[in-house]
Structure 1
Amino acid sequence: MEESQSILAAARIRLEKSLLEKGLRRSSERFAILDEVYSRTDHFDAEDLYLAMQQKSYPVSRATVYNTLEVFVEYGLVQRHQFGDEDNIKSRYEKSLGRQQHGHLVCTDCHRVKEFCDPRLHFIKTNVGESLNFQVQSHSLVFYGECTDVDCETKPGNTSVNN
């Protein structure tokens, strides 16, 4: 818990500094959205975030959520992913600070995203960059397939879910 609080504090400092540098308003809405983002452990879309803010009775508009996420991407506070196929591409986000290097598994049935860490990812990134004289700044590794979780709550046609 203490680590997540220090990561949130670092995110708030980065946001404050970036807003000052760009001459943008330091609104309470932006900081409330940042708090919500850094309280999450999932990969979310803008609508998920908007609904979470509404459930907490925080009066923020849908447009503010969408615009603020763009600001957070620019400042390196969140990372945007484009998971899905050509017919189902939706931007999903995850917090950036305090995150280990990782890849993603995306179920093509239920669209759930799972993360995995493997120390070889850093080795591959470093070797590829060095061998091709390329300074790798970031990477994304996504595997698509079908999850085998029989109790998957979001899998289409699943009637075996226990409530």
Structure 2
Amino acid sequence: MNTIGFEKVRQILEKELENRNLRKTTERFTILEEVYSRNDHFDVEDLYDTLLSKNFHVSRATVYNTLDMLVACGLVKKHRFNGDGAVFEKALGFRQHGHLVCNECHHIKEFCDPRLQAIQDNVGVALGFNITDQALVFYGTCSEDNCENRISAPLKKEAHQ
């Protein structure tokens, strides 16, 4: 899905730091690199633990503050699914997509559909609205039999008629 190189992402962060008169620290760029090496949704603790497991010692406050800055400059998207804590995903260079969130196991699946862009364009034109972003989330129950986070018994799969 990635259509943009990490160097471009790094340049955007550098410019943002310059605009905010902030230092270009190793911690900020390491956090950015870790975010862009992932292909999943993660929370602050996941990211913090991953950095520690790679022997990169950084404070939780630095992780929180850096993620907030990355969200503000459009490099990371922040979601709140099911009222749970915030989860993040890299944002730049990825196709528009929606999310399926299981109400039981909380697993998140992404899906792409070219009709999403057409719907966004049609709604914008019809309502005279310049849409700059969208988030489509479907909530339900997945059919993963071996889900490690399932709260209740797995659903029985019904035969299609």
TM over 0.5: yes
Counterpart for residue 17 of structure 1: 15
Task: Indicate whether 1:150 and 2:148 are aligned.
Answer: no
Name 2:89's counterpart in structure 1. 94
CA distance in 2, matches of 1:146, 1:124: 25
Shift, 1:6, TM fit = 5.2
How far did residue 4 of structure 1 move?
5.6
Provide TM-score, normalisation by structure 1: 0.89
d(CA) in 1 for partners of 2:47, 2:24? 20
The whole-number CA distance in structure 2 between the counterparts of 1:6 and 1:119 is: 19
Partner-residue secondary structure (3-state), 2:101: strand
Tell me which amino acid in the other structure corresponds to 2:6: L
Aligned to 1:27: 25
Verify the 8 A CA contact 2:4 2:92 in the aligned structure 1: no
Answer yes or no: is 1:66 the counterpart of 2:61. no
Q: CA deviation at 1:132?
A: 0.4
State the secondary structure of the residue aligned to 1:93.
strand
Q: Which residue of 2 aligns with 1:44?
A: 42
RMSD over aligned Cα atoms: 1.8
Distance (whole Å) between structure 2 residues aligned to residue 5 and residue 56 of structure 1: 27
1:23-78 C-alpha deviation (Å, 9 max, x unpaired): 11111000000010001100111111111111111010111101110000011110
Unpaired runs of at least 5, structure 2: 155-161
1:13 positional shift: 0.8
Aligned length: 154
How far did residue 17 of structure 1 move? Answer: 1.1
* 2:86 match: secondary structure: strand
Identity rate, percent: 50
**Quick check: 1:123 aligned with 2:118?**
yes
